[in-house]
Chain A
Amino acid sequence: MKERKTGVARWAAFGLLVVALCVVAAGCGGDDDGDSGSSTAVEGLGTSLEEIQSLAREEGEVNVVQWPGYAQLTKEFAEATGCTVNTKDGASSDDMISLLQTGAYDGVSASGNASVRLMTTGEVAPIDTELVPNYADVQEGIKDQDYNSFDGQAYGVPHGRGPNYLMFRNDIVPEDTNSWSVIWEDEGLQEWGGKISIYDDSIFIADAAVYLKATQPDLGIDSPYQLNEEQFNAAVDLLKKQAAAGLNYWPGDVAKQIGEYTNGDSVVGTTWPYQYVQLTAADPAVAVTAIKPSEGTTGWSDTWMLYSKAQNPNCMYLWMNHMISPEAQALVAEGFGEAPVNLKACELTKDQNHCDTFHADDEAWWEDVYYWTTPVEDCADDDDSTTCKTQEDWEAAWTEIKG
């Protein structure tokens, strides 16, 4: 009798488990992919600037995913609009996308390798630029690019652009270094192996491609983000050779890289201007030099985008307008070390030469800066038979490269 009872209890427990798992499965099966493509208006958004401003006062806050150091004048913004700004730093474009997908944020400062994906999935909403007054002051050359608009429809407001620098300790590495070869060729790898600082993201494969484009023209690389089998394998081989020399990865964690350069654990590598600004502004300043090497470099042109299911769309609209105001642009440009997109900011920077130093209005300088974008199968050439490596391939290779 007792035996039977425990038997029944066991089956009952098993049944309960199955039922519970089915409930869970149904729960997560239910929320299939939402709408794809472009849905125009975001729910709750005002139709005129006045309406947006009054609705924003009711919302009272805006939550944004940003690259570290992007948000500026948040206090002034809160006083003027009634929107308190809460920021969350993203470490990489993938990181930013997953953060946005949690639904807890209203917008994001997306680089090209995030923005294209977000526009395709419909996770960001088209923008009515009429409702963003400062948009008129944005440099024309940066509007309507494939990383911030789709079919001529703007999907955000440009934030600023910058290069990924080669940065080195000029008291340790020769001061006249002006080529990426120092982190790619045997000589440099032997000398600085173990002290090379590398951005930990699959997009870094493009940096290898930029170097190959300059040094091995036979490969015929055009865009470092559109690589066919042969070009891709060459880049991966180069990266594997580099990884074998010993690298310090910085996974978007700027504090980690800043610490390493300060105490000499890293002496040469790739960086964002932000860390360079922080290191040279530190007390005592760290002896670092950051350059765009002769081969050119990768870079980014970032866009503030509105989450299509934003809780606070009105505050986000005002925030986008705020971030391209001359005042905020000046602070961003100097704080992060990038070129502003609103040239009115150039009169407001503390360093009057900032816009010249960062080539804000010098299109020729940007010609060999390859902005981050998402690798896709289409090689964008005339030959239909060639296919290029996709984002998925890049990621798998990156795990492989790190070993």
Chain B
Amino acid sequence: MTSVPLSESPPREGLGRRLSTFFYRHPRIRLSALLALPLGWLVLVYFGSLFVLLLSSFWETDSFTREVVHEFTLDNFRQIFEQDVFRNVAWRTIQMAILVTIADVILAFPIAYYMARVASPRTRDLLVVLVLVPLWANYLVKAYAWRTILSDGGVVNWALEPLGLQVDGLSTVGLWLVFTYLWLPFMVLPIYAGLERIPSSFLEASADLGGRSLTTFARVILPLAFPAIVAGSIFTFCLTLGDYIAPGLITSEQFIGTVIYSIRGEALPTAAAFSFVPLVVVVAYLLVARRLGAFESL
């Protein structure tokens, strides 16, 4: 190696050059400058808004003008815990989220399995596109379309009419159908990815050891795909828990989202307090999901 005499011709000191020298000499400042924007976003905008939400759940409101009065109170949380209606609504929403998740698993698994292990590459591509296409249609349009399908003069009742049947589609059951439809792609894709990762040799090994198809499924495929199922359930569960548009369109029953939406104008602090219920449920769910290894399958 020949050493270059550095002192002979010092490089031109432009602003950019000087800046880079400065950052080179001060690695800590370099790191802070790099992280300032994303961290600022995360802390100020992301946690900041959550913090404001938490803060406003401790304010009072004027009983007549309904203006927010900046005085500390725990009444909002007391109201959430003591009034039956909030508990009922929260429980109803959680039940709905669980049922939607179960239905989506049952529907998504065969589709994902077919895509990952059976279909030819061309069919698989086609199926991936078909699963993704509904996500490009606007959510509102889909929810309204389901309203039309389920309503009295809609397709469902039209089809049942010759059989002398009539169902009230705009009900909790109808909403369950709509949610299951809306979030299905979010379940199919993680399971598909999870199943694709299982090496074929595992299945062959299972067969060689005398495992029948059901045994292979129960003892090899399912345990290996389970984290992927949990990963998908994060989406279906959380999305159902927070949604307010579909419940408002399909049923008269109240869900967490619709209650928050309808009281936000006049009782903002109560609405803020109530919004901590789904937050806590989701955080608990995520902790369990992490335990089950779902984050590696996302």
Please say whether chains A and B are actual partners in one complex. Answer: yes
Which A residues are within 8 Å of any B CB, using their own CB?
A: 16-17, 20-21, 23-25, 28-29, 32-33, 92, 94-95, 97-98, 117, 120-121, 194, 200, 202, 246-249, 251, 256, 260, 263-265, 374, 376-377, 390-393, 395-396, 399-400, 402-403
Beyond A121-B65, A251-B248, whether A400 also contacts B43 by CB under 8 A is: no
Give A263 to B252 CA distance when docked, in angstroms.
17
* Chain A residues within an 8 Å CB radius of B263: 395, 399
Mind listing 10 A-B residue pairs with CB under 8 Å? A17-B43, A25-B52, A28-B55, A33-B67, A98-B265, A263-B152, A265-B152, A392-B61, A393-B63, A402-B254
* Chain A residues within an 8 Å CB radius of B170: 248, 265
Min Cβ gap B39→A in Å is 7
User: Could you say which of A23, A28, A248, A400 contacts B44, with CB atoms under 8 Å apart?
Assistant: A23
Give A396 to B269 CA distance when docked, in angstroms.
13
Q: Give the residue among B79, B85, B253, B266 with the most A Cβ atoms within 10 A.
A: B266
Give A396 to B80 CA distance when docked, in angstroms.
11
B18 at the interface (CB under 8 A from A): no
For window 31-45 of chain B, which residues contact chain A by CB distance below 8 Å?
Answer: 39-40, 43-44
B136 at the interface (CB under 8 A from A): no
* Chain A residues within an 8 Å CB radius of B254: 399, 402-403
Give A247 to B170 CA distance when docked, in angstroms.
11
B66 touches A246 (CB 8 A): no
* Chain A residues within an 8 Å CB radius of B67: 33, 121
Which B residues are within 8 Å of any A CB, using their own CB?
A: 39-40, 43-44, 47-48, 51-52, 55, 61, 63-67, 69-70, 79, 83-86, 88-89, 151-154, 168, 170, 248-249, 252-254, 259, 262-267
Give A220 to B267 CA distance when docked, in angstroms.
30
- List 4 extra interface pairs beyond A251-B262, A399-B83, CB under 8 A: A20-B43, A25-B55, A98-B264, A403-B254
Give A23 to B44 CA distance when docked, in angstroms.
9
Min Cβ gap B223→A in Å is 35
Q: Give the residue among B43, B47, B52 with the most A Cβ atoms within 10 A.
A: B43
Beyond A377-B63, A392-B61, whether A17 also contacts B262 by CB under 8 A is: no
Give A293 to B153 CA distance when docked, in angstroms.
29
Give A391 to B266 CA distance when docked, in angstroms.
9
* Chain B residues within an 8 Å CB radius of A392: 61, 63-64, 66, 267
Give A121 to B67 CA distance when docked, in angstroms.
8
Closest 3 CB pairs of A and B: A94-B265, A392-B63, A263-B153
| Chain A residue at minimum C-beta to C-beta distance from B86 | A399
Min Cβ gap B96→A in Å is 15
Give A20 to B50 CA distance when docked, in angstroms.
12
B48 touches A395 (CB 8 A): no
* Chain A residues within an 8 Å CB radius of B151: 260, 263, 265
* Chain B residues within an 8 Å CB radius of A395: 66, 263, 266-267
User: Could you say which of A33, A117, A200, A400 contacts B262, with CB atoms under 8 Å apart?
Assistant: A200
User: Could you say which of B51, B65, B70, B267 contacts A29, with CB atoms under 8 Å apart?
Assistant: B70
| Chain A residue at minimum C-beta to C-beta distance from B259 | A399
* Chain A residues within an 8 Å CB radius of B152: 263-265
Beyond A28-B55, A248-B170, A399-B259, whether A20 also contacts B64 by CB under 8 A is: no
B47 touches A17 (CB 8 A): yes
* Chain B residues within an 8 Å CB radius of A28: 52, 55
Beyond A24-B52, A248-B252, whether A400 also contacts B83 by CB under 8 A is: yes
* Chain A residues within an 8 Å CB radius of B249: 256
* Chain A residues within an 8 Å CB radius of B69: 33
Give A264 to B40 CA distance when docked, in angstroms.
53
A117 touches B65 (CB 8 A): yes
Min Cβ gap A65→B in Å is 13
Beyond A246-B252, A265-B170, A395-B266, whether A400 also contacts B85 by CB under 8 A is: yes
* Chain B residues within an 8 Å CB radius of A29: 70
Min Cβ gap B169→A in Å is 9
Give A202 to B124 CA distance when docked, in angstroms.
53
* Chain B residues within an 8 Å CB radius of A264: 152-153
Min Cβ gap B68→A in Å is 8
Give A393 to B66 CA distance when docked, in angstroms.
11
* Chain A residues within an 8 Å CB radius of B52: 24-25, 28
Beyond A263-B153, A264-B153, A265-B170, whether A376 also contacts B64 by CB under 8 A is: yes
Min Cβ gap B157→A in Å is 10
Min Cβ gap B161→A in Å is 13
Give A98 to B44 CA distance when docked, in angstroms.
25
Min Cβ gap A241→B in Å is 15
B168 touches A21 (CB 8 A): no
* Chain B residues within an 8 Å CB radius of A23: 44
| Chain B residue at minimum C-beta to C-beta distance from A96 | B265
| Chain B residue at minimum C-beta to C-beta distance from A247 | B252
Min Cβ gap A256→B in Å is 8
User: Could you say which of B51, B154, B168, B266 contacts A24, with CB atoms under 8 Å apart?
Assistant: B51
Give A33 to B66 CA distance when docked, in angstroms.
12
B153 touches A94 (CB 8 A): no
B83 touches A396 (CB 8 A): yes
* Chain B residues within an 8 Å CB radius of A97: 66, 265
Q: Give the residue among A202, A265, A374, A400 with the most B Cβ atoms within 10 A.
A: A265
A21 touches B48 (CB 8 A): yes
Give A265 to B250 CA distance when docked, in angstroms.
11
A120 touches B64 (CB 8 A): yes
B63 touches A390 (CB 8 A): yes
Give A359 to B232 CA distance when docked, in angstroms.
61
Give A395 to B67 CA distance when docked, in angstroms.
14
Give A29 to B55 CA distance when docked, in angstroms.
10
B252 touches A391 (CB 8 A): no
Give A75 to B144 CA distance when docked, in angstroms.
32
User: Could you say which of A95, A376, A402 contacts B265, with CB atoms under 8 Å apart?
Assistant: A95
Min Cβ gap B155→A in Å is 12
Min Cβ gap A349→B in Å is 35
A390 touches B64 (CB 8 A): yes
Min Cβ gap B158→A in Å is 11
| Chain A residue at minimum C-beta to C-beta distance from B67 | A121
User: Could you say which of A16, A94, A399 contacts B85, with CB atoms under 8 Å apart?
Assistant: A399
A391 touches B153 (CB 8 A): no
Give A402 to B254 CA distance when docked, in angstroms.
7
* Chain A residues within an 8 Å CB radius of B267: 392, 395-396
Q: Give the residue among A20, A194, A248, A376 with the most B Cβ atoms within 10 A.
A: A20
